[in-house]
Amino acid sequence: MAAIASMIGPTPAVPGRSDVTNAECWLSPIVEELKHFYEPQPEAPRDAFVFYLWYVLGQRTTPARRDAAMAALKRIPALTPDAVWKAPRAKLQAAIAYVGPPEERLHAVIAGVEVFRRYREIERAVRGPILQARRSTRLLRALGPVGAQWMLLAAGDHPILPRHAGVGRLAMRLGVVPPPCCDGARAPWRAARVVAATVPRDVRFLKPAILYLSHHAAATCTVAEPHCRVCPLAVDCAYAHAPVVS
Ligand code: SF4
């Protein structure tokens, strides 16, 4: 992987290729490195309701547990708003229990089901013009801003990189985004905004990028204890080479 420090900044198009920017030049090899390092990750669902379930069930758990819960919902079957609504609660709880205590998540799932049943046009709206799509995702409160941005990308094919704090933290540690001048808690969000503002607006690039970057942030470049010794990005990582302060 080429040295990546100091590559971010204004992003004029690469000469001869109007569809590629300098941002892609630094982010592409990172995403490729992560694709090789991890098992292939299944794409985020393209159906808006299935994406909603996938995202809500994927919070504060591992991708493997989330996928087990999604597989259990598929077996019921309960992957449409009406099917979840009609499904026996005990079966829903048993499926959701794969990701942890089901009460809070079941509440979020049912809240989403009610919205999708009341506003039947959400699926279509998410794929429509961006203002209308954004308004639709705001109805789904359990998504929060990052989940809403991810739904716009995954289900709506809008070229948006979700402002994921894990991606901001990763960018700061790699040294491609200087730590913003704000308190520590807000810094990863600010850094994520900087990254999102500079990446190429190419859906085919952004979908795997957010999937693998957020996976790396959760699995290896964790908040409290980054596993730099096994990290495939360590060679060019500013954090990994920083002198240890005793
Ligand atoms: S080397 Fe360490 S700090 Fe750098 S990206 Fe990898 S896990 Fe994160």
pLDDT in tens, 20-76: 455 556 789 999 999 999 989 889 999 999 999 999 999 988 888 999 999 999 999
Looking at residue 101, its pLDDT comes to 85
234 lines ligand 1 (CB under 6 A): yes
Tokens of 102: 């089901």
Residue-wise pLDDT tens digits, 198-216: 888 999 999 999 999 999 9
237 lines ligand 1 (CB under 6 A): yes
Spell out the domains of the chain, with CATH numbers in brackets: 18-41+161-241 (1.10.1670.10), 48-154 (1.10.340)
Task: Give, rounded to a whole angstrom, the gap between the first and last alpha carbons of the chain.
Answer: 30
Ranges assigned E (strand) in the chain = 13-14, 17-21
Determine the Cα–Cα distance for residues 219 and 109; give it in Å rounded to an integer.
25
Q: How far is the CA of 158 from the centre of ligand 1 (A)?
A: 29
Give how far the C-alpha of residue 39 lies from the chain's centroid of Cα atoms, to the nearest Å: 17
Determine the Cα–Cα distance for residues 75 and 70; give it in Å rounded to an integer.
9
Q: How far is the CA of 172 from the centre of ligand 1 (A)?
A: 10
Q: Could you identify the atom of ligand 1 that is nearest to the CA of residue 232?
A: 6
Looking at residue 4, its pLDDT comes to 47
Q: Which of 59, 47, 58, 56 is nearest to 122 (CA)?
A: 47
CA distances 179 to 2, 10, 18, Å, are 22, 17, 30
User: Would you give the DSSP letter of residue 43?
Assistant: P
Q: Which of 33, 22, 12, 54 is nearest to 170 (CA)?
A: 33
Question: What percent of the chain has a predicted confidence (pLDDT) above 70?
Answer: 88
Q: How far is the CA of 37 from the centre of ligand 1 (A)?
A: 13
Q: Could you identify the atom of ligand 1 that is nearest to the CA of residue 233?
A: 6
188 lines ligand 1 (CB under 6 A): no
214 lines ligand 1 (CB under 6 A): no
Decide: pTM greater than 0.85: yes
Q: Could you identify the atom of ligand 1 that is nearest to the CA of residue 231?
A: 6
220 lines ligand 1 (CB under 6 A): yes
Amino acid in the structure at residue 101: P
